[in-house]
Structure 1
Amino acid sequence: MKKLSYLFFVLMFGLMVLGTVPAKAQCAMCTATVESSNKSGNHATKGLNAGIMYLLAAPYLAVAACGFIWYKSYRRKNVALNVPNEKFNLN
């Protein structure tokens, strides 16, 4: 049963990786503007790339900040474990 679930996982992962379709994320007008400004020597592409990186990093930073706040507020401090030195039976 474990081999079957492992095989299923590998198959699904392989289909997800190999079954991708390339797509253009820009509209035709944005692509034409960037290409023409790049050919003419205008450096508008640097600003576009910086904006894309900013939009890419923002969700990760937000999740990291929420995780850090959650960790700081819910971690246990100075927990005393009062475990007896006697042997005990779990049955």
Structure 2
Amino acid sequence: MEQRTKNGKQKAVGKKKDFIQIRHVFILFFIFSSLIANAQCAMCRAALAGESNIKKAEAVNDGIVYLMVVPYLLVVIIGILIYKMYQSKKKRAA
């Protein structure tokens, strides 16, 4: 889909919306696929293998997942702060 601007040039409108929708689908896919992932390294698995260590293995898996969340949370917070700063500069300029 294209739109004409005031000076007669054509501007692509639909491509950006399609890209944003595809990006959201990929983000949701990766979030939900990581929820079911088994986050245990080979050495931890070997050390905790066996019937008697089931609770310990689950605890190690949960700890690894919690440690993995912190860097992603920091990136999201920094991204939100940058977005808010950009929006406030945009409002001041207008």
TM-score in terms of structure 1 length: 0.46
Structure number with bigger Rg: 1
Whose strand proportion is higher, 1 or 2? 2
Higher relative contact order (CA 8 A, sep 6+): 2
Whose helix proportion is higher, 1 or 2? 2
